[in-house]
Amino acid sequence: MCGGGAVTDSRAGETEAREALRPHAEDAFADELRALAAADDRPRPERWRLSPWAVSLYLLGGELPDGTVITPKYVGPRRLVEVAVSTLATDRALLLLGVPGTAKTWVSEHLAAAVSGDSTLLVQGTAGTAEEAVRYGWNYAQLLAHGPSRDALVASPVMRAMAEGRTARVEELTRIPADVQDSLITVLSEKTLPVPELGEEIQAVRGFNLIATANDRDRGVNELSSALRRRFNTVVLPLPETAEAEVDIVARRVDQIGRSLDLPAASDGAAEIRRVVTVFRELRDGVTADGRTKIKSPSGTLSTAEAISVVTGGAALAAHFGDGVLRAGDVAAGVLGAVVRDPSSDTVVWQEYLESVVRERDGWKDFYRACREVSA
Ligand SMILES: Nc1ncnc2c1ncn2[C@@H]1O[C@H](COP(=O)(O)OP(=O)(O)O)[C@@H](O)[C@H]1O
Ligand SMILES: [Mg+2]
């Protein structure tokens, strides 16, 4: 339905969604969303596909009365999800804030899919995001031939969400230049988008709201103006609190991604996942898990998201070049690549960690050897 994709015919749509390398959340989880809608007898805000309760169940996972299993999408504090969902049912927009890799984009996509059945009304924020991406632009051929008209107007995803009463998404809000960010103020406070060229305005209908994401680390790139910030309820997504929680998230996602890529399931992956997560957490925290040894942190973020890609990469190696069992040798290169971002400073940090922590650890000989091999 909207630009960028290949799908035009709705009958072809379903096959293509299954064929897509990365289907949208509403397509990938269409069955779950359908089952939730059928079981959901709570009141729904206008134009919502589900009640807030069912949206939260979709995100956190659970079981329906008829036994349908809803897989957890987000693993984290229930309250955060409930605050996020109920914010969307108010006149305030939602800002998901956190360090990279804390599932801000992921949660935003799933919220839009569950609330509006459509996660594609998306503005990707960059330093080059222009006002047209947030408001509207013009089809110049039409404009020159017939002058300004509704037909010549090219609506932004935000404008379409307003007109259709759906959820708009703005990724990386703080990377957008301040003056372009400010064009959202009228949208969020007055719920209207004036089009002075036509002497008209597009008024948001019920059901419209907006989810923005922003990285903590970008602070200072383009600070959110206080006028805009006041239009948002902020929900901060934390890093997983415990190693167990993080292992659980990585294992789930690796399994899902592996299935979508048709990778044979690596058996016995749990031990390596635990190791990758342990290494990432220790380097991130600057101290070993037992709290005894202080270590230096590298320059990169070592997020859960990176742990997921290291293990997925390892699973591909094990599947194609090994015996299908995920081993230390399959993840070592990925770990090294994630840790050493800045060769001049991070190499020293990594070597020190390898020699003083990994080498001494019981049962980690194979991992130490594999890391030495790729570090050389
Ligand atoms: N708490 C979590 N629960 C579920 N998945 C998570 C969690 N934290 C990270 N992830 C996974 O990490 C990946 C990247 O997250 P992403 O949304 O791109 O991060 P961000 O936008 O915060 O940088 C996603 O595949 C997501 O599933
Ligand atoms: Mg993101």
The set of residues, in sequence order, having a beta carbon less than 8 Å from that of 261 and lying 6+ positions away, is 312, 316
Strand partners, 192: 203
Distance 60 CA to ligand 1 centre (A): 13
Residues with CB under 5 A from ligand 2 (ion): 104-105
Distance 103 CA to ligand 2 centre (A): 7
Judge if the beta carbon of residue 308 lies within 6 A of ligand 1: yes
Residue 48 CA: distances (Å) to CA of 55, 65, 360, 374 = 10, 21, 55, 51
Task: Show pLDDT as tens, one digit a residue, over the chain (376 residues).
Answer: 344 444 444 445 555 555 788 899 999 999 999 999 999 999 999 999 999 999 999 999 999 998 999 999 999 999 999 999 999 999 999 999 999 999 999 999 999 999 999 999 999 999 999 999 999 999 999 999 999 999 999 999 999 999 999 999 999 999 999 999 999 999 999 999 999 999 999 999 999 999 999 998 766 556 788 889 999 999 999 999 999 999 999 999 998 888 888 877 766 788 999 999 999 999 999 999 999 999 999 998 899 999 999 999 999 999 899 888 899 999 999 999 999 999 989 999 999 999 999 999 999 999 999 999 998 7
Q: What is the DSSP string of 154-181?
A: EE-HHHHHHHHT-EEEEESGGGS-HHHH
Instruction: For tokens 């998230």, name the residue.
Output: 249
- 318 three-state secondary structure: helix
Distance 274 CA to ligand 1 centre (A): 17
**What length is written for the chain?**
376
Distance 212 CA to ligand 2 centre (A): 10
Q: Pocket of ligand 1, candidates 277, 284, 304: which has the most ligand atoms within 8 Å of its Cβ, to mutate?
A: 304
Q: Pocket of ligand 1, candidates 78, 105, 106, 311: which has the most ligand atoms within 8 Å of its Cβ, to mutate?
A: 106
Distance 74 CA to ligand 2 centre (A): 14
Ligand nearest the Cα of residue 108 is 1
Which has the closest alpha carbon to 166: 206, 224, 221, 220? 206
Q: What is the DSSP string of 105-138?
A: HHHHHHHHHHHHS----EEE--TT--HHHHSEEE
Q: Supply the pLDDT for residue 2.
A: 42
Judge if the beta carbon of residue 101 lies within 6 A of ligand 1: yes
Q: Whose CA is nearest to atom 20 of ligand 1?
A: 101
Q: Whose CA is nearest to atom 12 of ligand 1?
A: 305
pTM listed for this prediction: 0.90
Edge-to-edge strand ranges of the sheet holding 122-124: 122-124, 167-171, 209-215, 93-98, 232-236
End-to-end C-alpha distance for the chain, whole angstroms: 51
